[in-house]
């Protein structure tokens, strides 16, 4: 009889401990780590609202999730329980949820330091949102370059596209409020902004003679420069952007009546320049390249 009473007391104490440890706003449909995190966020009073179902195993069997009125909480052993909601949730869904390249979330939605937007970090990248740009993913080496440039607080601002494959299939890019990041396996990921980016775009982007960037913008005497597979572009306030011509050189002298080259202003050889009616090509004139100027006198294909 005494043993039975002692066991009953132990069971009663254990039950009380469980009740005391249970989340104050616990919902019977939400348990485990997901339930604990839901309660920590504020339960039904949080941005997620009420649960609309119970815990579900993810199709890849790597974790579980619970859907709520305005979002969800995803859990995996490696990432713990994290919430995703709103436009970031929709953007993540476009990539294939946890089975896509981003994987499981590793943070809850977080306000950006400048207060202009929000983001979630995932196993394979991040999704950034702001009112004017909506939500877009950044991942891989493009994300690394974005971090190098200062994330949304840097010159690039927020992303305005997801990662996009280049038309030639040789790389990818992301467009941001203040510029672009281009990547290829051969060149890595590099930041393009301002007049240098515009000069490169005017010559066909990565499909033009310059190809992909091999550096981000860096300082040179008197201005800025970006290197490309097929040359370089330099810029200064005095000269603007120059393709394959240094800004430290004097302005080109063009004799009266010098012919304007046809578009595109790139010639593989002098025969091609002459056939287009563009020869001779003077230093600083579109189409001039040192490789065509055999004697280095500033006049090519004379």
Residue 2 confidence (pLDDT)? 41
Give this prediction's pTM: 0.75
Q: Which pLDDT tens digits describe the chain residue by residue (302 residues)?
A: 443 443 333 333 333 333 333 343 455 668 899 999 999 999 999 999 999 999 999 999 999 999 999 999 999 999 999 999 999 999 999 999 999 999 999 999 999 999 999 999 999 999 999 999 999 999 999 999 999 999 999 999 999 999 999 999 999 999 999 999 999 999 999 999 999 999 999 999 999 999 999 999 999 989 999 999 999 999 999 889 999 888 876 555 555 665 554 444 677 788 888 888 888 877 667 777 777 877 665 678 88
- Distances from the Cα of 101 to the Cαs of 132, 230, 259, 273, in angstroms? 25, 32, 52, 46
If 0-12 CB within 10 Å is exposed, 13-18 middle and 19+ buried, where does residue 128 land? Answer: buried
Contact between 63 and 74 under an 8 Å Cβ cutoff? The reply is yes
Are the C-beta atoms of 65 and 71 separated by less than 8 Å?
A: no
Nearest to 230 by CA among 202, 209, 246, 258: 209
Query: What is the spatial distance between Cα 52 and Cα 195, in angstroms, rounded to a whole number?
Result: 51
Amino acid 231: pLDDT: 93
Rounded-to-integer distance, Cα 78 and Cα 31, Å: 18
Whole-angstrom distance, CA of residue 86 vs CA of residue 275: 58
What is the DSSP track for 83-127? EEEHHHHHHHHHTTGGGSTT-SBSS--EE-TTSS-EEEEETTEEE
d(CA 296, CA 302): 12
pLDDT at position 20: 35
């Amino acid at each position: 009889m005494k043993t039975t009473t002692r066991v009953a007391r132990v069971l009663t104490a254990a039950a009380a401990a469980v009740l005391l440890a249970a989340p104050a706003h616990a919902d019977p449909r939400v348990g485990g780590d997901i339930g604990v995190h839901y309660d920590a966020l504020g339960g039904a009073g949080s941005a997620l609202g009420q649960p609309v179902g119970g815990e579900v195993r993810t199709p890849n069997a790597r974790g579980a999730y619970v859907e709520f009125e305005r979002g969800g909480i995803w859990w995996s052993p490696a990432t713990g329980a994290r919430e995703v909601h709103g436009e970031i949730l929709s953007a993540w869904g476009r990539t294939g949820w946890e089975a896509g390249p981003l994987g499981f979330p590793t943070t809850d939605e977080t306000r950006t330091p400048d207060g202009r937007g929000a983001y979630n970090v995932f196993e394979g990248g991040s999704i950034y949102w702001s009112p004017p740009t909506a939500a877009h993913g950044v991942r891989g080496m493009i994300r690394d370059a974005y971090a190098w440039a200062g994330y949304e607080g840097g010159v690039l601002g927020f992303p305005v596209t997801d990662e996009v494959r280049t038309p030639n299939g040789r790389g990818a890019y992301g467009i941001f409020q203040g510029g672009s990041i281009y990547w290829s396996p051969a060149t890595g990921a590099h930041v393009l902004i301002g007049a240098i980016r515009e000069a490169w775009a005017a010559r066909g982007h990565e499909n033009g003679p310059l190809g992909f960037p091999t550096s981000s913008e860096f300082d040179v005497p008197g201005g800025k420069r970006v290197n490309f597979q097929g040359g370089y572009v330099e810029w200064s306030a005095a000269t603007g952007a120059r393709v394959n011509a240094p800004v430290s050189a004097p302005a080109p002298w063009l004799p009266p009546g010098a012919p304007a080259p046809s578009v595109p202003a790139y010639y593989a050889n002098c025969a091609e320049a002459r056939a287009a009616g563009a020869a001779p090509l003077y230093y600083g004139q579109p189409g001039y390249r040192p490789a065509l100027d055999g004697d280095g006198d500033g006049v090519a294909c004379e």
